[in-house]
Amino acid sequence: MMIGGRTEMQNKLQTIEKLFLYFLMAAIIGWCYEVFLEVVVYRWGFQNRGVLFGPYCPVYGVGMLAFLLCFGKFAKMQLSWRVRWARPILIFLGCGAVATLIELAVSYLLEWTTGSWPWQTYADYAINFQARVALSPSVRFGIGGVLFLYLLRPLFAKITGLMSEKVLHVVSITAAVIMGLDLICTVLFKLFL
């Protein structure tokens, strides 16, 4: 079926490519955030905070996609002025809960596949569960979800919207190949070293 001179398949492909670039941008911002915490806040010195070699933390990309799926329409929904004030609070609570569940699931997955998970420092937090999740990061993830849905999402949409169909395709395929190779190298490195 043609929609505005484009097939439905082309529209779906373009949506997938944009979502992948959203994922990548969120993963890079997440990596920068983690490195900032390590170097500036905790003063532990630089350490690659991602599970892959590249400057990205895929769990942030997954979280962002989950926020978009769970709360994207709600964040844009027209509400009466009487309840509009509650929306950011509900999104904050929802994003904090979703991110905590993702972080918990990923910690089990990483422990199963690699023998550990990178954020075992949660043992030092006053309120934590098995050093896998903690209240303080959950609050920060809730804030991050609000910032993403209200500030970064429109920016990401503008960036991807400025790309022609061909540029979007080339950039997303190139980034996917680089991340795929990084994943393969990381797995091989962990298996053989």
- 10-residue mean pLDDT profile of the chain (193 residues): values are 70 93 94 88 73 84 94 85 86 96 89 75 87 92 94 93 94 95 84 70
Residue 42: its pLDDT value, please? 75
**CA separation for the pair 148, 143 (Å, rounded):** 9
Residue type, 38: E
Residue 139: its pLDDT value, please? 96
Residue 125: its pLDDT value, please? 87
Query: Has this prediction a pTM greater than 0.85?
Result: no
- The CA distances from residue 174 to 17, 21, 24, in Å, are 11, 11, 12
Helices (H), the chain: 8-36, 58-76, 81-84, 86-114, 135-147, 153-162, 165-192
Residues 59 and 103: beta-carbon distance below 8 Å: yes
Residues 99 and 142: beta-carbon distance below 8 Å: yes
